[in-house]
């Protein structure tokens, strides 16, 4: 049986890995990495940019993109009867339904692929931060090495498309709520160095504030503050424990931010210049405006952009109660903006070279925690008889059948991959996909070879564990 890591152990291990990364010298391409050759059938890439739309908290597949039999709420009903709490609605694809509230995304599915068979990892105990760490880095925590985020790998291997725009941009996640330290553990470039880490924009409506000095600060004062920042680096844990490579990497990241500050491209962060008709479609909240900012930054040459609904325990998709009523609001936040993002990038000609990925750390179910053959400790009290509508919805963490969407960037159009059972447990029964396959599919679309690796702590560290991940070629056009 696997260890049941708790939050404290998770933080202790990841903090130790971070310090180890700081002390490490520059990661060196190993012999295999430096002698890479293209594999048979590998191309130069079909995508230049990735937009990750992150449904943080656990998006129930049966309530979104893989609806099952609908059962309306009745006081005193049996919980086991409930598979979906929303009616199915047709999409543009014949015979393929989404759940009610996602009609706008359903109308653009002729431009993308629906995956209905993502299977999340069995790590012995379900913690959102651990599963999110695994999804974003492809490595199960804790690790002795600070594993880089997918966006950091892409920034390192491909560099910026536009030297002024940060190669890795993260929109929407604050670190002042919930499990802040756990989330920071994977929002990092790890041993690759800070210059490849994320440029954070917690609130897209204030995106311009991220790239200019505070009000009242003139250029000279900003220069002095920049020098003070460099001095602080020298006296920080990076300065004390960090290698020369890590120190220089951190300074280069600040230089990149300073270059952006003084560039015409900084205007892309100012959403007030967006035409009102377009702005109003995206303006469903911070996530919707994040999609708008992602569109504008893609048009300016961004390389990797993550837009999240934000993970905060018991909010958003983390539906431990009021699952049905909560999802009514969540769908309003995402449906219009995501569909409009696809349409806008298609209209501007950017979708062909932009890979959009919508995903979540795992799914949810009314009755099953984990997966049927590998159940874990139940974390939510779910009565067998529903006397209150707050119990109507998917509240338990389910790892054996999750939905994902992909658009553009060489992905098939109007395609459905995988299948889950129509009766509980609604588990994957055809073409299971795991996280290393998802990562390698994305890297393949970008032209990053599957054996990409660096030597760290005198051993090779690959983009996917041991370099064994394989792209799901059936997803690619």
74-128 confidence digits (pLDDT tens): 999 999 999 999 999 999 999 999 999 999 999 999 999 999 999 999 887 778 9
pLDDT tens digits for range 376-421: 777 778 889 999 999 999 999 999 999 999 999 999 999 999 999 9
| Residues 113/357, Cβ–Cβ less than 8 Å | no
Query: For 389, left (φ over 0), alpha (ψ -120 to 50), or beta?
Result: alpha
Q: Is 413 strand, coil or helix?
A: coil
Can you give the pLDDT at residue 179?
81
**What is the structure's pLDDT at 238?**
46
For residues 307 and 52, what is the distance between their CA atoms, to the nearest angstrom? 6
What one-character DSSP code corresponds to residue 168?
E
CATH (residue range 7-205+273-475): 3.40.720.10
Distances in whole angstroms, Cα of residue 231 to Cα of each of 199, 258, 269, 292: 21, 16, 29, 37
Instruction: Say which range, 205-214, 303-312, 445-454, has the weakest mean pLDDT.
Output: 205-214
Task: State the average pLDDT for the chain.
Answer: 86
Q: According to DSSP H, which parts of 62-127 are helical?
A: 103-106
Domain segments of the chain: what residues? 7-205+273-475
Look up residue 216 and give its two tokens. 């009242």
pLDDT score of 68 more than 90: yes
Higher-pLDDT residue of 216, 394: 394
- Spatial distance between the Cα atoms of 54 and 108, rounded to a whole number of angstroms: 19
- Look at strands 396-398 and 363-365 and give their pairing: antiparallel
Q: How far is CA 39 from CA 42, 444, 447, 449, 462, in A?
A: 5, 11, 11, 8, 16
Predicted TM-score of the model (pTM): 0.86
User: What pLDDT is attached to residue 139?
Assistant: 96
Higher pLDDT pick, 338 / 234: 338
């Amino acid at each position: 049986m696997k260890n049941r890591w708790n939050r404290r152990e998770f933080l202790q291990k990841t903090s130790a890995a971070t310090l180890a990364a700081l002390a490490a010298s520059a990661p060196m391409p190993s012999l295999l990495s430096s002698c890479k050759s293209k594999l048979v059938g590998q191309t130069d890439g079909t995508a230049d940019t990735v937009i990750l739309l992150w449904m943080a908290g656990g998006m129930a597949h049966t309530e979104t993109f893989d609806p099952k039999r609908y059962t309306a709420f009745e006081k005193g009903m049996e919980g086991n009867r409930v598979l979906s709490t929303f009616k199915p609605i047709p999409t543009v694809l014949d015979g393929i339904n989404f759940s009610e509230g996602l009609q706008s995304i359903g109308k653009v599915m002729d431009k993308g692929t629906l995956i209905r068979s993502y299977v999340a990892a069995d790590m012995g105990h379900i913690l959102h931060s651990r599963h999110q760490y695994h999804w974003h880095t492809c490595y199960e925590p804790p690790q002795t090495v600070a594993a880089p985020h997918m966006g950091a790998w892409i920034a390192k291997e491909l560099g910026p498309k536009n030297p002024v725009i940060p190669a890795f941009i993260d929109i929407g996640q604050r670190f002042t709520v919930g499990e802040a330290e756990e989330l920071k553990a994977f929002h990092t470039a790890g041993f690759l160095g800070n210059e490849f880490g994320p440029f954070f924009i917690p609130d897209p409506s204030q995106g311009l504030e991220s790239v200019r000095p505070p009000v009242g600060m003139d250029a000279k004062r900003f220069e002095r503050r920049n020098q003070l920042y460099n001095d602080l680096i020298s006296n920080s844990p990076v300065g004390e424990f960090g290698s020369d490579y890590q120190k220089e990497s951190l300074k280069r990241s600040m230089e990149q931010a300073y270059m952006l500050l003084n560039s015409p491209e900084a205007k892309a962060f100012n959403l007030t210049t967006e035409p009102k008709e377009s702005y109003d479609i995206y303006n469903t909240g911070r996530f919707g405006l994040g999609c708008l900012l992602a569109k504008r930054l893609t048009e300016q040459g961004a390389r990797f952009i993550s837009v999240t609904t934000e993970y905060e325990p018991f909010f958003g998709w983390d539906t431990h109660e009021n699952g049905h009523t909560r999802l009514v609001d969540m769908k309003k936040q995402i449906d219009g903006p995501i569909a409009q993002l696809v349409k806008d990038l298609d209209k501007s000609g950017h979708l062909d070279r932009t890979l959009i990925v919508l995903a979540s750390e795992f799914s949810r179910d009314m009755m099953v925690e984990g997966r049927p053959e590998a159940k874990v400790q139940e974390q939510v009290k779910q009565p067998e008889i529903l006397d209150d509508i707050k119990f109507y919805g998917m509240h338990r963490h389910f790892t054996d059948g999750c939905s994902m969407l992909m658009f553009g960037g060489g992905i098939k159009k109007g395609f459905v991959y995988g299948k889950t059972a129509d009766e509980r447990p609604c588990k994957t029964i055809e073409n299971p996909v795991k996280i290393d396959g998802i990562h390698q599919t994305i890297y393949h679309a970008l032209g990053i070879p599957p054996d990409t690796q660096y030597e760290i702590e005198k051993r090779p560290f690959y983009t996917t564990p041991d370099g064994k991940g394989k792209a799901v070629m059936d997803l690619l056009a």
